[in-house]
Chain A
Amino acid sequence: GAGVSQTPSNKVTEKGKYVELRCDPISGHTALYWYRQSLGQGPEFLIYFQGTGAADDSGLPNDRFFAVRPEGSVSTLKIQRTERGDSAVYLCASSSLGAGEQETQYFGPGTRLLVL
């Protein structure tokens, strides 16, 4: 079956522009996560969706970042007024809740964002 997919794979934008990053989770997975990975670092949590609602958005760095998941499947991460410090790889993951301690998050290939 298909894994988690993310588009675009690469995005180059100019400082101050608006960008949208898309994530298609594994079919049937109710939980969806966004992480951000800077060069040489591990991924850092941004936001978690359970169904359509954001259950935990404590990792969003500021109000320029926003994410939606209107139908409980595809999610879009939106960044307004991009800054050079936003350059990173944005990773999406999904999981099937109910597996308890065996729950595994499945990651997509990421979107590499470069802000010039």
Chain B
Amino acid sequence: KQEVTQIPAALSVPEGENLVLNCSFTDSAIYNLQWFRQDPGKGLTSLLLIQSSQREQTSGRLNASLDKSSGRSTLYIAASQPGDSATYLCAVRNPYDYKLSFGAGTTVTVRA
């Protein structure tokens, strides 16, 4: 069974600082890995998807890396803004089924 862990559980930084969010998974035979954002009381918004053959994906200020062999992914958010305050979830999909296995998330607060 795939287990996904996210560290830290919560993070508070001043505006402008770079954010580093970590995700680890136990089964390295993944199909893809996604990073989602969840605002309070809202659903999930997909930020980045990294295919198993890729090492990283970038979108604007966001960059996600993937190291399958060590079972790790890192989400970098450059020059954080108060609007980046949310919970960030990492989810892994294995090749033998369609479901996503999620971590518990990292709750980020960016102070103005």
CB-based contact A102/B51 at 8 Å: yes
A 27-44 contacts with B by CB, 8 A: 31, 33, 35, 40-44
A110 proximal to B (CB < 8 A): yes
Residues of A with C-beta under 8 A to B26: none
B77 to chain A, nearest CB (A): 19
Residues of B with C-beta under 8 A to A102: 32, 49, 51
Range, interface on chain B: 20 to 34
B 1-34 contacts with A by CB, 8 A: 4, 6, 31-32, 34
Residues of A with C-beta under 8 A to B31: 101
Check A33/B99 contact, CB under 8 A, given A101-B32, A109-B42: yes
Check A104/B104 contact, CB under 8 A, given A56-B99, A91-B43, A110-B43: no
Interchain CA distance A103-B43 in the complex, whole Å = 18
A55 proximal to B (CB < 8 A): yes
A positions within 8 Å CB-CB of B: 4, 31, 33, 35, 40-45, 48, 55-56, 59, 91, 93, 101-110, 112
